């Protein structure tokens, strides 16, 4: 199985790849089905053969994005074992790398939740809540072990998630920080959030 740290090119069916590019550039409501079809090299009826609506394209993107994020998060935790600091660091790194290397998907999924139909929005929020519970779990475990001394573990977990999501709005591979440098720097910031106390 592919390591949670490894990222190749985004591999999406052409209609979803076209929708992703259009939504990232113009937003869901600023994108027409005709634009998506043209980007995918399809007629509008041809696009509808694969996805019956613009909403189904957005839902498909969000589902693929969240399943990839959750899978990588769980693999990172499984690899880290039971040490609370290693688990915290692995999950934080996984979140950071995902939002670096799946920037457009993460950006669209986080900003277009407002555009999801109510039925799927409930499913999507469930996925997001599952991810947040993972973060809260590693913070709580560190507090229980006495290595994190924050008095506000839930707030620290929320801040950690917000930091990771924010990476998708500004990181570029050609920027001043490499992916590894960004991970190292933000792990230090994450440790400050939870008030990590290194064992003597």
Residue 99: phi and psi, rounded to 5, are -75, -10
Q: Which residue has the tokens 């990222």?
A: 7
The yes/no answer on whether domain 62-194 falls in CATH 3.90.550.10 is no
The answer on pLDDT for 200 being more than 90 is no
In a 13 Å sphere around the CA of 126, the CA atoms on its Cβ side amount to 7
Q: Domain residues of the chain, as ranges?
A: 62-194
The answer on pLDDT for 199 being more than 80 is no
pLDDT value at residue 173 = 86
d(CA 109, CA 97): 16
pTM for the predicted model, two decimal places:
0.94
What totals of helices (H) and strands (E) does the chain contain, helices first?
9, 0
pLDDT value at residue 8 = 92
d(CA 87, CA 137): 10
pLDDT value at residue 60 = 97
What number is the average pLDDT over the span 152-181?
94
d(CA 152, CA 156): 6
Longest distance between any two alpha carbons in the chain, whole Å: 66
Beta carbons within 8 Å of 28's beta carbon, 6+ residues apart: 54, 58, 108, 112, 115
d(CA 74, CA 141): 16
The answer on pLDDT for 11 being more than 60 is yes
- pLDDT per position as a tens digit, 86-117: 999 999 999 999 999 999 999 999 999 999 99
d(CA 135, CA 141): 10
């Amino acid at each position: 199985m592919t390591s949670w740290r490894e990222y190749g090119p985004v591999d999406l069916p052409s209609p979803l790849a076209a929708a992703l590019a259009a939504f990232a550039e113009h937003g869901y409501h600023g994108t027409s089905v005709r634009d998506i079809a043209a980007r995918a090299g399809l007629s509008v009826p041809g696009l509808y053969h694969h996805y019956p609506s613009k909403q189904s394209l957005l839902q498909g993107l969000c589902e693929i994005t969240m399943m990839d994020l959750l899978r990588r998060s769980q693999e990172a935790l499984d690899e880290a074992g039971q040490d609370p600091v290693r688990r915290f660091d692995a999950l934080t790194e996984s979140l950071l790398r995902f939002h670096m290397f799946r920037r457009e998907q993460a950006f669209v999924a986080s900003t277009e939740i407002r555009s999801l139909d109510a039925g799927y929005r409930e499913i999507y929020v469930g996925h997001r809540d599952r991810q947040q519970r993972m973060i809260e779990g590693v913070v709580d475990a560190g507090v229980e072990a006495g290595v994190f001394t924050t008095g506000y573990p839930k707030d620290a977990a929320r801040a950690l998630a917000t930091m990771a999501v924010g990476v998708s709005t500004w990181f570029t591979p050609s920027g001043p920080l490499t992916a590894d440098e960004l991970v190292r720097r933000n792990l230090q910031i994450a440790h400050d959030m939870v008030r990590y106390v290194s064992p003597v």
